[in-house]
Amino acid sequence: MQGFINAGEFLAVITRAEAIELMDEAHFSVFGVTNDQRKARKAAFTELKTAVNNDSENSFFDIPAIERLVKR
């Protein structure tokens, strides 16, 4: 999809803002969350994973896998 967007931008068929909006819509339809929500969730899990190395009580692996799944 990125190649088509790049071609559209190169040919001036689509603007960068339109391309970003199109990608956000596609991301929402595939993942069921906005790109910003997904980034925030990923950052939270990354923080929990690094807490494992620091022996934190709220580590990522203390959360049951079934609860870590995204509910759609």
- pLDDT over 60 (residue 9): yes
Which carries the bigger pLDDT value, residue 54 or residue 2?
Answer: 2
Secondary structure of 4-26 in the HEC alphabet? HHHHHHHCCCCCHHHHHHHHHHH
53 to each of 9, 15, 48, how far by Cα in Å? 44, 44, 9
Tokens of 4: 């088509």
Q: What is the pLDDT of residue 55?
A: 57
Domain ranges of the chain: 1-32, 34-72
pLDDT of residue 59: 62
Q: What is the pLDDT of residues 28-65, one digit of tens each?
A: 998 888 888 889 988 988 887 776 555 555 566 667 77
pLDDT at position 52 is 56
CA 33 to chain centroid, in Å, comes to 8
What average pLDDT does the segment 59-72 reach?
67
